[in-house]
Amino acid sequence: MEMKKALFTECLFTESDIESLRGAGVEVIKGSSSMGEDKLIEELQGCSIFIIGGADKASEKVINSTNLELIIFYGTGYENYVDMEAANKKGVLVCNTPKANAYTVAEHAVALILDAVKQITYLNSSVKSGQWQRRDTWNLEGKTLGTVGMGTIGGYIAGIMSRGFKMKILYVSRENKTEYEKEFGATKVDLPTLMSSSDVVSVNASYSDQTVNMIGEKELFGMKPESVLVCTSRAELVNPEALKKALDMNKLSVAAFDSYYQEPAPTKENDTWGLLSLPDNKFIITPHTAYGSKEAKENMNSMVIENIKSFLESNQPKYKVA
């Protein structure tokens, strides 16, 4: 049987994973991250499967310049990494690893909330630069958390903050989440009410044409001056110009993101939006790594293998998105 080849950028497979796929007739090729479009096309020659684990994308040019049959996004939010129109036109199947990292992302969101409220990153940098500057912070207990999007991740975050910090929970969702309303008294509200009533806003909605820039100047300017905005979804859900203006004008105290409007992020000197030049008590960012726990990677590896094996058996990956 002729082996199919699969390129995995920034490969996170164990040797056991690679052997499992070899036994199924797939040779895994380890690729680097951020190799650039032309180099990626060169590396994909002869490959049937592209596993996107790094920063490179399955662009229209990449898809049309290769003979891919299957694209697997290592994670959930594939939208920014795969040109779906080009893939559909060429008949390339696309899948991902949904919910494999949901609790990991929720834990990261909670860490960002604590960092932002308690100013841990800022105070750490301050002490290491020779200052011993105490600052007043505030308690989460009894305050209000608003979750924009109440899917699996939003539900986990709300549960942790409700049970662990006795926070009141507001949420925005297309559907009523009766299980969360019963479990910890979550209340469904509209977006303006959530933004103006919450001490912490956690953005967890899925990326789509409908959610891009869903939080703009009107929403940000309606926040409490001491409030915190945390986004572990795609950065594009929050309008960057409006966010910079709101932070400069102290309409909210701090924002903490796990992704950026360009990835990899530019240097602060080349940052179009100016957010990376803000101090750590205004803007905190991590490099799209909320999903990256050991346990989540094990889950995602298993789901990637499931996708490939089901594709080989039935021409339908298990977690197909299109």
322 belongs to a structural domain: no
Q: Do 307 and 252 reside in the same domain of the chain?
A: no
- Mean pLDDT, all residues of the chain: 95
- The pLDDT > 70 percentage for the chain reads 99
Residue 1: is its pLDDT beyond 80?
no
Q: Do 213 and 309 reside in the same domain of the chain?
A: no
Q: What is the domain range of residue 63? A: 4-100+294-314
Q: Do 248 and 114 reside in the same domain of the chain?
A: yes
Stretch 199-203: mean pLDDT: 98
Find, among 33, 73, 65, 22, the residue nearest to 46 by Cα.
65
157 belongs to a structural domain: yes
Q: Do 158 and 279 reside in the same domain of the chain?
A: yes
Of the pLDDT bands very low, low, confident and very high (cuts 50, 70, 90), residue 16 is very high
Find, among 93, 88, 43, the residue nearest to 68 by Cα.
93
Q: Do 51 and 116 reside in the same domain of the chain?
A: no
pLDDT digits (tens, 9 = 90+) for 42-91: 999 999 999 999 888 999 999 999 999 999 999 888 887 899 999 999 99
Q: Do 93 and 111 reside in the same domain of the chain?
A: no
> How many independent structural domains does the chain possess?
2
Q: Do 125 and 274 reside in the same domain of the chain?
A: yes
68 belongs to a structural domain: yes
CATH value at residue 48: 3.40.50.720
Contact between 110 and 160 (Cβ < 8 Å) = yes
pLDDT digits (tens, 9 = 90+) for 246-285: 999 999 999 999 999 998 899 999 999 999 999 999 999 9
Read out DSSP for 134-195? Answer: -------TT-EEEEE--SHHHHHHHHHHHHHH--EEEEE-SS--HHHHHHH--EE--HHHHH
Q: Do 169 and 265 reside in the same domain of the chain?
A: yes
91 belongs to a structural domain: yes
